Amino acid sequence: MTDSTEKSGGLIRLQVDGRAVSVPDGSTILDAARILGIRIPTLCFSPLIEPYAACRICSVEVEFANGKKRIVTACNYPVWEGIKVHSDNEKVRRIRRMIVEMLLARCSNVGVLKDLAAEYGLEEVRLEKQEEECILCGLCVRVCAEVVGKAAISFAGRGLGRRIATPYDRQTEDCIACGACALVCPTGVIRVEDMEGRAVAHEELALGPAKAITVPFLQAVPNVPYIRTERCIHFQTDGCGHCAEICERDAIDYGMKDEEFEVDVGNIILATGFDLFDPSVMQQYGYGRFQNVVTSLEFEHLNSASGPTGGRILLANGDTPSVVGIVHCIGSRDQRYHEHCSKVCCMYALKYAHLIKEKTKAEVYNFYIDMRCTGKGYEEFYDRLLGEDVRFVRGKVGEISRLPVSAGEEGKLIVRVEDTLVGIVRRIPVDMVILCPAMKAHPDAKDVSRVFSCSVGKDGFFIEKHPKLAPVSTTSEGVFIAGACQGPKDIPETVAQGAAAAAEVLSLIDRKEIEIEAATAVIDEERCSGCRICNALCSFGAITFDESKGVSVINAALCKGCGTCAAACPQGVIKARHFTDRQINSEIEGILR
Amino acid sequence: MRFEPKIVGFLCNWCSYTGADLAGTARIKYAPNIRSIRVMCSGRVDPAFVVKAFAEGADGVLIAGCHPGDCHYQEGNYKALRRYLLLKRILPEYGIEPERLRLEWIAASEGERFAQVVNEFTEQVRKLGPMNFKDSLFESMKNDVMIHEEHAPQGTGEQR
């Protein structure tokens, strides 16, 4: 084992199948064989934990210096100086054949045992056949205890009744659903399934449990892996820690915490993006209830070449869909949720239709309210899809259910929709439904806008200073907006707006000076009584009291020109430029004439 | 003929004036009785402006600013609120119904709300009827408002 190697440091010389090898003291025969590239079959062995030698399939013959021979298990037998190991002679093969026969008698349908049987020439199992799947190697129990640091499963029963079970055969709180037991199980009998009452994302069910160490996505910057603490065994049980052991660079530090930095900047670009409407609110569409109802973002993940299926479009059970429905305008253009149009959905729905056709030959239905294909080349793409035999049904989907009324609807998701072009209500059975949820503003956009003192519209998106003349500026000087935080938009538009915001900032930086508000307030020092009422009123600390002169003074660089001080001065000696008392009084007189 | 009240609106530049602008660009119809005066912040509204407006013959005065917490100048609208509450107590001293003064928070995105507030307030003031002053009171009010200008020493160059 690696641990003991470091302690002793000495090398042991031995032969495996006639080939000499030197391995550190404390290594096992299996280690030595693997260095030489000699395969010794194992079932209950995992490099993560101490060997246990339960399955005996790794049996080999050892020949000592004095000529004595012995059958031992390679996974836990330590190497000795000068021993000769025979990993595949006739005696070893006979023993392994016997072991496989006994295991196969118990588990007659397990693939890995059938493969071993073929390898060792076992033609017929002479014992009474059973149809178990578990070989009772105990690997899962040891992984749970040694690696995970839990004891969610263990051996139960005795003799013939021996089996692997959770405490009292009940769903247990001790199980953190890490999937480690299923990962190591040699026969694959342990499966991670949806636990009762626990909401599992489509990602976990159809695509397998996501790994705890992952790169957010392939184009991520910086493109480095991170640990998802909510899935990592170490963060839940304090166990495991294998990644830190394996990492040669010692880059893994479980003690790292989120840190806050303060950075002084002169300009800020708000590009906080958008949030996706949660379609589970619209219960009639079954999102969260039916496995094969996915959002467009989940489908994008599924369809991605770097995604969990390598870009293959699969249903939750691993089959290829033969009919797919794409439902537009989920929560957008809807008086109950969001009035606005999400703008990008029509085009990505067309893209999906095209890709599904290309990859699976499935029938594709688009359920739309209006097709909005505005943009260069977009209408042409729509036209092309009409020619590609994609079905377009104009109507808002009423319901997605799993209640079949005819034989053709068995096992399908049934989309009930009014086809407004034909004027009938249709029931269309499909295998997969892709919902196109609204692009909506972040729920905390309002708080963000307060921090930067810019405004949000009633749809929650940031408002630009002027829709035509200042499309990336805000009412706060030096604060700019770009991307979907300003409103739903697609990638080209976002890129254009981002470049525009960057250019605005650069032009300010390049100028090396900024223009400040001309409409500031000034104090007539000769007439100021020094009452200091104005000092506390200023939110920007622009008014200070000059002790030597006994008057208040306004710092023009700090003054934003709101005029609150001018309205409060009991002497009337603060002048709010461009909004003087005289000007406003004249206005009042003028409009009431 | 129906009484058409004259209403002076003090609208802050960032929220309410923009909201009024939005009502305009969105072609939302609202009572033409309001005459708007743009100020940078509702905090700029000196109570004297309100009294002045009534003295000049306004039947109602609307002060509109950003929603609490949204003020472009952080707290100007809170100052406006304080002055508004003060005015509510002072106006009856002049014999003016406090209902003739109204403070509203209208955001830049609330064009519809601006129109709705103006319509409501116009109807409210219409019910109150025209302002009815005795001349003496009118004169005393004018004096109160003009105090700064009259007492300002001449020839300082800058006139308020």
pLDDT score for B77: 94
Q: Are residues A427 and A458 in the same domain?
A: no
> Between chains, do A564 and B79 touch, taking CB under 8 Å as contact?
yes
| % of chain A beyond a pLDDT of 90 | 62
Domain count, chain B: 1
> Between chains, do B43 and A457 touch, taking CB under 8 Å as contact?
no
pLDDT score for A73: 94
> Which domain range does residue B143 map to?
7-151
pLDDT per residue as tens digits for the range A275-284: 999 999 999 9
Shortest alpha-carbon distance between residue B118 and chain A (Å): 17
pLDDT over 70 (residue A185): yes
pLDDT score for A207: 43
pLDDT score for A102: 93
Q: Are residues A411 and A456 in the same domain?
A: no
- Which residue, among A446, A560, A588, would best test binding to B if mutated, counting the most B CBs under 10 Å from its CB? A588
Residue A583 within a domain? yes
Q: Say if CB A12 and CB A27 are below 8 A apart.
A: yes
Which residues of A sit within 8 Å Cβ distance of B? 449-450, 453, 455-458, 463, 475-476, 519, 524, 526-527, 537, 539-540, 560-564, 566-568, 572-573, 575-576, 579-582, 584-585, 587-589, 591-592
Task: In whole angstroms, give the CA distance from residue A94 to residue A87.
Answer: 12
User: Looking at the complex, does the CB of residue B11 fall below 8 Å from at least one CB of chain A?
Assistant: no
* Greatest CA separation for chain B: 49
pLDDT score for A212: 80
Q: Are residues A497 and A551 in the same domain?
A: no
Q: Are residues A286 and A419 in the same domain?
A: yes
pLDDT over 80 (residue A378): yes
Q: Say if CB A353 and CB A499 are below 8 A apart.
A: no
pLDDT per residue as tens digits for the range A443-491: 999 999 888 888 888 899 999 988 889 999 998 888 999 999 999 999 9
pLDDT score for A173: 81
Residue B38 within a domain? yes
pLDDT score for A210: 62
Residue B158 within a domain? no
pLDDT score for A9: 60
Enumerate the residues of chain A whose CB falls inside 8 A of the CB of residue B70: 449-450, 455
The band of A193, judged by pLDDT with boundaries at 50, 70 and 90, is low
Q: Say if CB A74 and CB A29 are below 8 A apart.
A: yes
The band of B150, judged by pLDDT with boundaries at 50, 70 and 90, is very low
pLDDT score for B155: 44
Q: Are residues A422 and A338 in the same domain?
A: yes
> Between chains, do B76 and A539 touch, taking CB under 8 Å as contact?
yes
Q: Are residues A366 and A432 in the same domain?
A: yes
Q: Are residues A314 and A432 in the same domain?
A: yes
pLDDT per residue as tens digits for the range A45-93: 988 888 999 999 999 999 998 889 999 999 999 998 989 999 999 999 9
Task: In whole angstroms, give the CA distance from residue A290 to residue A293.
Answer: 6
- Chain A residue with the nearest C-alpha to that of B109: A457
> Which domain range does residue A15 map to?
2-88
* Mean pLDDT, chain A, integer: 89
| % of chain A beyond a pLDDT of 70 | 95
The band of A19, judged by pLDDT with boundaries at 50, 70 and 90, is very high
Q: Are residues A369 and A405 in the same domain?
A: yes
pLDDT score for A116: 93
Residue B89 within a domain? yes
pLDDT per residue as tens digits for the range A221-277: 888 888 888 878 888 888 888 888 888 899 999 998 889 999 999 899 999 999 999
User: Rg of chain A over CA atoms, in angstroms?
Assistant: 36
pLDDT over 70 (residue A195): no
Residue A114 within a domain? no
pTM for the whole structure: 0.67
pLDDT score for A4: 43
SS3 of A304-331: CCCCCCCCCCCCCCCCCCCEEEEEEEEC
Residue A179 within a domain? yes
- Give me the residues paired with residue A522 across strands: A575
Enumerate the residues of chain B whose CB falls inside 8 A of the CB of residue A527: 153, 156
> Between chains, do A463 and B109 touch, taking CB under 8 Å as contact?
yes
Enumerate the residues of chain A whose CB falls inside 8 A of the CB of residue B56: 588-589, 592
Over residues A435-445, the mean pLDDT reads: 96
- Which residue, among B46, B50, B146, would best test binding to A if mutated, counting the most A CBs under 10 Å from its CB? B46
Domain count, chain A: 5
pLDDT per residue as tens digits for the range A289-336: 998 999 999 899 888 887 777 788 988 888 899 999 999 999 999 999
Q: Are residues A297 and A435 in the same domain?
A: yes
pLDDT score for B159: 44
Q: Are residues A287 and A383 in the same domain?
A: yes
Residue A134 within a domain? no
Could you tell me the CATH number of the domain that includes residue A559?
Answer: 3.30.70.20
ipTM for the assembly: 0.88
What are A490's two structure tokens? 């697609």
Those residues whose C-beta lies under 8 Å from the C-beta of residue A472, and which sit 6 or more positions away, are A464, A480, A481, A482, A486, A497, A500, A501, A504
Q: Say if CB B109 and CB B19 are below 8 A apart.
A: yes
pLDDT over 90 (residue A211): no
Residue in B52, B109, B152 nearest the CB of A588: B52
pLDDT per residue as tens digits for the range A141-182: 999 998 888 888 999 999 888 999 988 888 888 887 777 888
pLDDT score for A6: 45
* Count of positions (residues) in chain B: 160
> Between chains, do B56 and A592 touch, taking CB under 8 Å as contact?
yes
pLDDT score for A180: 83
Residue B94 within a domain? yes
Could you tell me the CATH number of the domain that includes residue B115?
Answer: 3.40.50
Residue A421 within a domain? yes
Over residues A124-151, the mean pLDDT reads: 90
Query: What type of residue sits at position A342?
Result: S
> Between chains, do A576 and B44 touch, taking CB under 8 Å as contact?
yes
Last residue of a domain, one of A405, A440, A475: A440
Q: Which residues between 60 and 99 in chain B have a beta carbon less than 8 angstroms from any beta carbon of chain A?
A: 69-76, 79, 83
Residue B14 within a domain? yes
| % of chain B beyond a pLDDT of 70 | 82
Alpha-carbon distances of A80 from A10, A18, A24, A29, A67, rounded to whole Å: 12, 15, 10, 9, 14
The count of CB pairs under 8 A between chains A and B is 120
> Between chains, do B44 and A567 touch, taking CB under 8 Å as contact?
yes
Enumerate the residues of chain B whose CB falls inside 8 A of the CB of residue A585: 49, 52, 145
Residue B159 within a domain? no
